[in-house]
Structures are given as structure tokens and as C-alpha cells.
Amino acid sequence: MDDARCRNLVNELGIVIVSVDYRLAPEAPYPAAIEDCYAVLKWTHANADKLSVDRARIAIGGDSAGGGLTACLALMARDRAEVPVCFQLLIYPMLDDRTGTTVMSSPELGKYIWTRSANHYAWNAYLGQAPGSAGVSEYAAAFRAADLHGLPPAYIGVGSLDLFLDEDLEYAKRLMAVGVPTEVCVIPGAYHVFDVFIPEAPLSKIFKNSYFSALKRAFAK
């Protein structure tokens, strides 16, 4: 599903991308997907020479549920301290299993494409229990993390009509509050995965340039 985005990144930035074919819920609920991601991160680091990859410049990224896995992977990599991560690219990431169950900043959030009911269904399938339940791990829902210190610099991009707007902006604020360099891009009038549905739209191109530039700057450092 993300081949086009990955190919564009490779072609325009000249980077190596390892795309994770992680196991999917509900057949394989948490922690299958995140452990698959971590295994691939370790494999990439171990095989960096064969891949022509600089071990000091390994970034992680994803969109939507993949963005949520990316945020969880950043937490896991920090805590296990086996592989250094230089940057996390979070494209409209799915961070909080409680989203949609509480009052949100606007009734317009989640009206298009990815709705509250879809979000509830997805989290239930992934967690194997009702979203919002007590004891959900931060490696399942990154927003649950109490301590965000020591995470790699981040980019968070989201549309102003995306169901994930509130959680993404709040997560960005929390990252910045503990000194994690964080860039935020909010596209006005954009719904979830808008850039995938209409890639040639002017706002989609602005969004693409935004996160492409952020990743390029991260590797340049």
C-alpha cells in the first residue's frame, strides 16, 4: 500500500527504505506488529553495511496505523537501547486508543474517511480488548507513555479534519515540553489520508514537500 510513497522517497532523497510486512490484527493482535517492526529495525542495523546504510542515520516512519507503530517503535528502541534512531516521521499517526470516546475539539473531526466507529473497531482488533481499557501498554498506544524524554526528533503531519488531529497535536506538545525537537505541519481542510486519495492536489503536494524536507534535514544532520 505504501510502495508509491516509499519509491518517491527513495528516488527524491536517495535513501534506503526497508518496508515492514508486519503481521495484522485481528489474526495477530498486539504485540505482534510492534515486535515485527522492532525485529526489522534490529535487522537493518545489523545489516547496515550490506544495505549501504549509515548506522548513525537510521530513521523510522509511517502513516496512520503505521505512524502509531513508528511512535511506539521509537519508545521501544529508546527503552531497549540496542539500536539508535535519529528521527521519527509520523504522518497522521494513530496514537491514542481512547480517541473518539471522549469530547473532541471539533465535531468535524472524523466525519470523513476514518470515522470514530472505524477507529474503535481497529483499536479493538489490535488490542484484543475494548479501547480505553486500563493497562494498555505504551508500546501499543504511544500516547499512553508517561515519559517521552530521550526520544528522537520528530515530525508530525496531520490534516485539520483528521480524527487524529487532537491527539497528534497534544503528543507534539508533550514531546516539545520535554525537549524533543518536533516539527508540526497541519494541512487546513484535509481529512485522513487525503494525500493518498488525491496526490496531485495542491495541498497534497505541500504536505509531501513538508515531510520530504523534514526527513532530508534529519539525514543531513
Active site residue 149: no
All three cell numbers of 195: 494525500
pLDDT at 102 over 90: no
Distance (Å, whole) CA 9 – CA 123: 29
- Residue written as grid cell 531497549: 80
In this prediction, residue 1 has a pLDDT band, given cuts at 50, 70 and 90, of confident
Q: Is 3 a catalytic residue?
A: no
Q: Which helix (H) or strand (E) holds 90?
A: strand 87-91
Query: What DSSP designation does 122 have?
Result: H
Average pLDDT, the chain: 96
Q: Which of 96, 162, 168, 195 is catalytic?
A: 162
pLDDT digits (tens, 9 = 90+) for 177-192: 999 999 999 999 999 9
Query: Mean pLDDT across the stretch 34-55?
Result: 98
192 carries an active-site annotation: yes
Taking 70 as the threshold, does the pLDDT of residue 103 lie above it? no
Residue 109, C-alpha cell as written in the block: 473531526
- Residue 219 has φ and ψ, to the nearest 5°, of -70, -30
This prediction's pTM: 0.96
CATH architecture of structural domain 20-220? 3-Layer(aba) Sandwich (3.40)
| 190-217 average pLDDT score | 97
Range in 83-97, 105-119, 205-219 with the lowest mean pLDDT: 105-119
Percent of the chain with pLDDT over 90: 94
Q: Where are the domains of the chain?
A: 20-220
Which of 63, 64, 96, 97 is the catalytic position?
A: 64
pLDDT of residue 82: 98
Give the active site residue among 96, 97, 168, 192.
192
